[in-house]
Amino acid sequence: MADLNKLVDELGALTVLEAAELVKKLEEKWGVSAAAPVAMAAAAAGPAAAAAAPEPVEEKTEFDVVIKDAGAKKIDVIKVVRQLTTLGLKEAKEAAETPGTKILEAVSKEVAADAKSKLEAAGASVEVK
């Protein structure tokens, strides 16, 4: 295992350009993408400021779509609920008529936004959590 203290000291001595190059190489090797503005700001501020800075908040990747109110067009809302889920007619009706029911759980931001727009177009009041 690498000497972590030595590694921290070496990383603290990097210039902004060297830190940016390191980020690129790590992104390529691990197949990930770093938050460039946060990484650059921390690298530019130096090791003392980086230690004092709060940890960046992870961006939420999973969302729940919740019906707050079905509205006046319940039949239209039930149809959309059935399109978005695998629920049968009875279950979709109960889900649409019960405030606070999760229609979709742990979906991507795009899927949640699409479901919200469809449900709102049908007349429901929807919240994405």
Q: Do residues 16 and 43 touch, judged by C-beta distance below 8 A?
A: yes
What was the pLDDT predicted at 84? 86
What was the pLDDT predicted at 2? 67
| pLDDT in single tens digits along all 129 residues of the chain | 567 888 888 888 888 778 778 878 877 887 776 654 555 555 555 555 445 556 666 677 788 889 888 888 888 888 888 888 888 899 888 888 888 888 888 888 888 888 888 888 988 888 888
What was the pLDDT predicted at 51? 52
What was the pLDDT predicted at 26? 79
pTM score? 0.52
Burial class (CB in 10 A: 0-12, 13-18, 19+), 122: buried
Torsion angle in degrees (nearest 10) through CA of 45, 46, 51, 53: 0
Domains contained in the chain, CATH given: 4-52 (no CATH), 63-128 (3.30.1390.10)
